[in-house]
Chain A
């Protein structure tokens, strides 16, 4: 229904990101208001530009300088070009952390999405006190991580903690959730899913709210099963919102510091060290500023690449 012809590259991309079903201004109106619009747009954008330069641009330049020098937080040091990047890229710790970050992000994004989707579908139906549950289920997102990580620690850290005790009483042995490298990685991911699913639940709830129920009625008249309805109607209808939530959660996961650091500190033996944790520890515990910031830079670049790929998906889904 919308006329995409009048739009140039970005506007289309923007519409991809924001899949509003609205129409677009025909070309002639654009020219009529064009001069005034440009002027107004400039002023509307200005505060945001100032803040972007101040809060993001300046530290980014500083970081670029640090990443290419051999100094520390107080002194810039000498220019070393790509040496820090070479050091980082040739270290096993970096690749191990990159691998963990990848898994952490995949589980974090899809785990929280699946849980959030399930709960959103459940809450979509009429349930007594449904609104209360909705608010209660948002709590993991609201509680400060410093506090919830401690609570999780109490539940799993020692053999006598609640969860290992339950396992023991069920005859399943005494799992050491934070001491075993694999289990620690799993625990940290579970923790991330626990923290993040409310966000996904909210996103999905909102997207589901826009799905018209008459669609289902028509579908069930045609003999579609519940599952078919879900995969062929619900999912496609919320696809764009889903991609956006994936992008945002990818950023949140890759950039996540406190969730991992406060629960495991990156251990045991680096089993849960993500790139941000590695960057932090390299800068502030090994005091190797250049390599640490280089790690942050590489991470950022990867993040941008991933997001661009996900964008494409969105664009595709909005064309359909």
Chain B
């Protein structure tokens, strides 16, 4: 309640200032032709504003636009489609929501829904889930993908694609280095050393501007050892033995030159180039790497998950999701739209536009997806062992947004892959850095 009243206060204050300024300037500006900005989550005629990100090539956005505009609601409701650029997207969403010009439904950052939920802007999706249950789609979800979105108050968002982190390798480099594919940590180290001898990289990653793969690699290795940032109760738990062990192992990779010493500054483009140019032999990457880096040789393949020293097998996944906002012309129309949109997702994979796993089993079975053995392997071997950024915890929350891409994690993984700190000290700094940002 406290939050609610604070919110009202701030909105009314802003509203007041806005009005004053508007009153003062309207006569001046009226002549200049006003804006095309539509008001409210719906805009004129109660159509649903759907905001989407450039998740893939422009062809993706064209297809998604087609789907959104094909919606026709129960009362003749329509939907409009809007692309939001990734640069500064949080500013874009925040300012739009604060000024009531935001969307009714949107995709967005991985933990954005939880941030806006905390700020009272999210409409829970429980009724959508009900409808999915009645139309059979609910049972089509891959195991475990929905659970992270269930909070005490309801479903904060609905996942629509899984951005997986999996190990890839370049087959020809392993042949050239004459070494077996790693199955556990010691063999990962051995493979790395062998690859190093032929000038290849055995743990390809990057931590340059805008590149989160090193961050993800660090958390992945912790989770792969049964550790992670949070424990089962969702408490910050960085200094556990498993994490220390995992980071000591990564530091061993670093000291053996298995991590590229320049990786700390690699952007995703630098990293992709390393994969394409046959420099990277093994490393954590996403779905559809050959397409992403522009390699048609068939030489880039998904590796098997590897076992941690205590027998753990795990990786991390970012379940990208669609959320609904309280500012909508009609909550029912928002829900209808979301159900409709989820039902049409198959098209995007049929057109081979996505670089992520679908959330629905039925889509993983369509030929356009299943024809690629790499995809099948990810669904079969990696998806079942994937954990979210909440690590050992089960549900996502707003704090993860400050973890993902926040300064503490960035600084941590940069200090590890440059080998500038020992595991304990780095984890200690990471922990205190996070403590200062995370809301209790």
In the complex they form, whether A and B have CB atoms below 8 Å apart is answered with: yes
Interface residues of A (CB under 8 A from B): 54, 58, 71-78, 87, 91, 93, 153, 157-160, 176-179, 184, 261-270, 281-282, 284-288
CA distance A74 to B121 in the complex (A): 10
| Cβ-defined contact, A157 with B270, below 8 A | yes
Interface centre among B98, B260, B267 (most CB of A within 10 A): B267
Given contacts A158-B266, A159-B262, A284-B90, contact A72 B407 (CB under 8 A): no
Partner of B10, one of A74, A268, A286, A287: A74
| Cβ-defined contact, A157 with B266, below 8 A | yes
| Cβ-defined contact, B119 with A75, below 8 A | yes
**Which of B146-154, B300-308, B411-419 forms contacts with chain A?**
B411-419
| Cβ-defined contact, B437 with A265, below 8 A | no
| Extra 10 A-B pairs, beta carbons < 8 Å, given A91-B436, A179-B418 | A54-B21, A73-B91, A78-B6, A153-B208, A157-B262, A157-B267, A158-B270, A282-B407, A286-B437, A288-B436
Interface residues of B (CB under 8 A from A): 3, 6-7, 9-10, 13, 17, 21, 25, 88, 90-91, 94-95, 97-98, 115-116, 119, 121, 207-210, 260-267, 269-270, 273-274, 277, 279, 401-402, 405-408, 410-411, 414-415, 418, 420, 436-437
Report the minimum CB–CB distance from A314 to chain B (whole Å).
36
| Cβ-defined contact, A267 with B410, below 8 A | yes
Interface centre among A153, A158, A184, A281 (most CB of B within 10 A): A158
| Cβ-defined contact, B401 with A287, below 8 A | yes
Given contacts A269-B411, A287-B437, A288-B437, contact A76 B266 (CB under 8 A): no
CA distance A281 to B274 in the complex (A): 28
Chain B residues positioned under 8 Å from A160 (CB to CB): 277, 279
Chain B residues positioned under 8 Å from A71 (CB to CB): 6, 10
Chain B residues positioned under 8 Å from A269 (CB to CB): 264, 411, 414-415, 418, 420
Chain A residues positioned under 8 Å from B405 (CB to CB): 285
| Nearest neighbor of B209 in chain A, beta-carbon distance | A265
Partner of B7, one of A54, A75, A282, A286: A75
Chain A residues positioned under 8 Å from B208 (CB to CB): 153, 157, 178, 264-265, 267
| Cβ-defined contact, A178 with B88, below 8 A | no
Chain B residues positioned under 8 Å from A266 (CB to CB): 209
CA distance A184 to B186 in the complex (A): 33
| Cβ-defined contact, B420 with A75, below 8 A | no
CA distance A91 to B95 in the complex (A): 29
Report the minimum CB–CB distance from A268 to chain B (whole Å).
4
Report the minimum CB–CB distance from B424 to chain A (whole Å).
17
A-B contact pairs, 20 of them (CB 8 A): A58-B21, A74-B10, A74-B121, A78-B6, A157-B265, A158-B266, A158-B274, A160-B279, A176-B261, A179-B265, A264-B265, A267-B208, A267-B209, A269-B414, A269-B418, A282-B407, A284-B91, A286-B406, A286-B407, A286-B408
Report the minimum CB–CB distance from B18 to chain A (whole Å).
10
Partner of B6, one of A77, A91, A281: A77
CA distance A122 to B300 in the complex (A): 54
| Cβ-defined contact, A287 with B115, below 8 A | yes
Chain B residues positioned under 8 Å from A74 (CB to CB): 7, 10, 94, 97-98, 116, 119, 121
Partner of B402, one of A153, A157, A262, A285: A285
CA distance A231 to B399 in the complex (A): 59
Interface centre among A91, A262, A282, A284 (most CB of B within 10 A): A284
| Cβ-defined contact, B10 with A76, below 8 A | yes
CA distance A287 to B112 in the complex (A): 11
Report the minimum CB–CB distance from A275 to chain B (whole Å).
14
| Cβ-defined contact, B209 with A73, below 8 A | no
CA distance A72 to B398 in the complex (A): 13
| Cβ-defined contact, A264 with B209, below 8 A | yes
| Cβ-defined contact, A268 with B3, below 8 A | no
CA distance A268 to B265 in the complex (A): 7
Partner of A268, one of B7, B115, B264, B277: B264
| Nearest neighbor of A153 in chain B, beta-carbon distance | B267
Partner of A176, one of B116, B265, B406, B437: B265
CA distance A269 to B414 in the complex (A): 6
CA distance A160 to B410 in the complex (A): 25
| Nearest neighbor of A78 in chain B, beta-carbon distance | B6
| Cβ-defined contact, A270 with B411, below 8 A | yes
